[in-house]
Homo-oligomer: A and B are copies of this chain.
Amino acid sequence: MQKKAIILLSGGLDSITVLAQLKNQGYQCYALSFNYGQKHNAELNAAKKIAAYYQVEQHKIIDLGFASIGGSALTDEHISVPESPQEGIPITYVPARNTVFLSFALGWAEVLNVQNIYIGVNAVDYSGYPDCRPEFITAFQQLANLATKAGVEGPGIKIHAPLIKLSKAEIIKQGVALGVDYLQTVSCYSADQLGRACGVCDACRLRVAGFEEAQIADQTYYQ
């Protein structure tokens, strides 16, 4: 029986790398994306193209009423995306975002009878979001098997975060070795409708530095 996985697919650099890894390992992939009111919804268009390119079994895009909660520069029209580094957890943090995303993945995994969930979080070259750290993944893993029928009566569901300890440069190198076309991806928090990047937001800075460190040409179109 072919191995199956649900993958959270944002349309960014990290999740495409995880998807390429999974396809390379022979997984059947079910991609999950969210329309959560992000200003940079060019990433959703990227996610659609990536899902099609990698021939996932199914690509589900869930509409969330996240924007109505507000409180983040990524979803709130009244808060600008910062163009320079911030102290502490930045204003681009979306309250409980990865908790919500993984919760949906958990529900879908139960329905599909899939035992693996992959998320491309990274805790090295990252923005300092609490829900990207190993201790968050560990806590969610514990919750996952207590919260679900699959955990209590079934085989359990495993949360995988294969990039969590890699630098951005290492992620890019792994992706390039697997033939990933990073031009398909959108990292920028302020990307325009065509996916063109601002070059100055936190996500752009991490991306630019990653390509530099990897000594790989970054073909991203910066505005």
- In the bound complex, how far is the Cα of B169 from the Cα of A49, in angstroms? 54
* Cross-chain contact A107 with B103 (CB below 8 angstroms): no
> Does A179 touch B at the CB level, under 8 Å?
no
B interface footprint on A160-188 (CB within 8 Å = 1, 0 otherwise):
00000000000000000000000000000
One complex includes copies of this chain to the number of 2
Interchain CB contact (< 8 A) of A95 among B65, B96, B148: B148
> Does A60 touch B at the CB level, under 8 Å?
yes
Given known contacts A62-B65, A99-B103, A107-B69, is B147 in contact with A131 (CB within 8 Å)?
yes
Question: Nearest-CB distance from A143 to chain B (Å)?
Answer: 4
B interface footprint on A133-154 (CB within 8 Å = 1, 0 otherwise):
1011001101100111101110
> Does A25 touch B at the CB level, under 8 Å?
no
Which of A70, A88, A136, A152 has the most CB atoms of chain B within a 10 A radius of its CB?
A152
Interchain CB contact (< 8 A) of A130 among B94, B130, B149: B149
Point out the residues of chain B lying under 8 angstroms from A107, CB to CB. Answer: 66, 69, 71, 94-97, 99-100
For chain A, the count of residues having a C-beta within 8 Å of the partner chain is 44
* Cross-chain contact B104 with A147 (CB below 8 angstroms): no
Question: Nearest-CB distance from A184 to chain B (Å)?
Answer: 25
> Does A126 touch B at the CB level, under 8 Å?
no
Which of A63, A64, A153 has the most CB atoms of chain B within a 10 A radius of its CB?
A64
B interface footprint on A73-108 (CB within 8 Å = 1, 0 otherwise):
000000000000000110001111111100110111
> Does A125 touch B at the CB level, under 8 Å?
no
Point out the residues of chain B lying under 8 angstroms from A111, CB to CB. Answer: 69-71, 95
- In the bound complex, how far is the Cα of B110 from the Cα of A103, in angstroms? 18
Point out the residues of chain B lying under 8 angstroms from A130, CB to CB. Answer: 146-149, 151-152
- Pairs A–B under 8 Å by Cβ, sample size 27: A60-B69, A62-B64, A62-B65, A62-B68, A69-B104, A70-B111, A71-B111, A89-B153, A95-B148, A95-B149, A96-B104, A96-B106, A96-B110, A96-B147, A96-B148, A97-B107, A99-B143, A100-B104, A130-B146, A130-B148, A131-B147, A131-B148, A136-B143, A139-B143, A139-B147, A140-B147, A143-B143
